[in-house]
Structure 1
């Protein structure tokens, strides 16, 4: 009899625990608005520093958390805020681009955040001139 009662009590707690799981939903309605989603870095010199900065605001009513930023290649390195951005506040995603690959380029930066429109895609593009490097070698 004790074992049967124990089983009933355990089932009751398990069922109650499962029902309570459904009531604690995580809000996924943060918003992000970028000033620009594409930056043309123009003409760059071979092996010079190339940096871009994408400014964004949180126009939503809940904190914005940038969960991850993925780039289309290893030559593009992102840096983003790790703390939540409060409603009405702004932040920046900074990009460093390796200019040791001459010619035209266009790279995508994919921003994953805690909102229903995630992810958001950003673009950097430009042209790397390596003629100065070739002249110095000759």
Structure 2
């Protein structure tokens, strides 16, 4: 048994000490520089900042469409790209948004149409997906829908 253990240890030592090439000689300096640049750019992200995160339409009439506009700015250090805008229901429709990159410091906007089909207080969310660190931001619309035919 001692001979088997001694044989395994000897074999392990030979295997680990047989590498004659110095690993540091295999490092390509161009790759190191490219990795350093990539890592420094990874921390440069766009930041999506809205002028408002909620719009209150107040009292609106059932069946009468209303519209608002959300203005946003890229306050980060890299181009901002909106990849999608989704709403919490089909009665809320985002429009006029660009998929083109927005340079740092620039502003853009999108509109949201809402057509109420039922009475009472509503809150609808609009999720804006983008290439930011967080990945998405949420804005809201609220209203008090009045049915003129209700008794």
| Residue in structure 2 matched with residue 83 of structure 1 by the alignment | 100
Give the alignment's TM-score, normalised by structure 1.
0.73
| Residue in structure 2 matched with residue 71 of structure 1 by the alignment | 87
| Residue in structure 2 matched with residue 102 of structure 1 by the alignment | 119
Give the deviation of 1:100 after TM superposition: 2.2
Give the deviation of 1:93 after TM superposition: 2.2
After TM superposition, which residue ranges in structure 1, 4 or more long, deviate above 3 angstroms?
A: 22-28
CA distance in 2, matches of 1:68, 1:99: 23
Ranges in structure 1 where 5+ consecutive residues have no aligned partner: 1-18
Q: SS of 2:45's equivalent?
A: coil
| Residue in structure 2 matched with residue 124 of structure 1 by the alignment | 141
| Residue in structure 2 matched with residue 58 of structure 1 by the alignment | 74
Give the deviation of 1:109 after TM superposition: 0.7
Higher Cα Rg, which structure: 2
CA distance in 1, matches of 2:75, 2:81: 13
Q: Does 1:115 align with 2:129?
A: no
Report how many aligned residue pairs link the two structures: 114
Give the alignment's TM-score, normalised by structure 2.
0.67
Give the deviation of 1:90 after TM superposition: 0.4
Per-residue Cα deviation, 1:79-125 (whole angstroms, up to 9, x for no partner):
22221111111011210111222221101111110010221111100
Structure 1 window deviating more from structure 2 (122-131 vs 26-35): it is 26-35
| Residue in structure 1 matched with residue 24 of structure 2 by the alignment | none
Q: SS of 2:105's equivalent?
A: coil
Give the deviation of 1:130 after TM superposition: 1.0
- RMSD across aligned positions (CA): 2.3
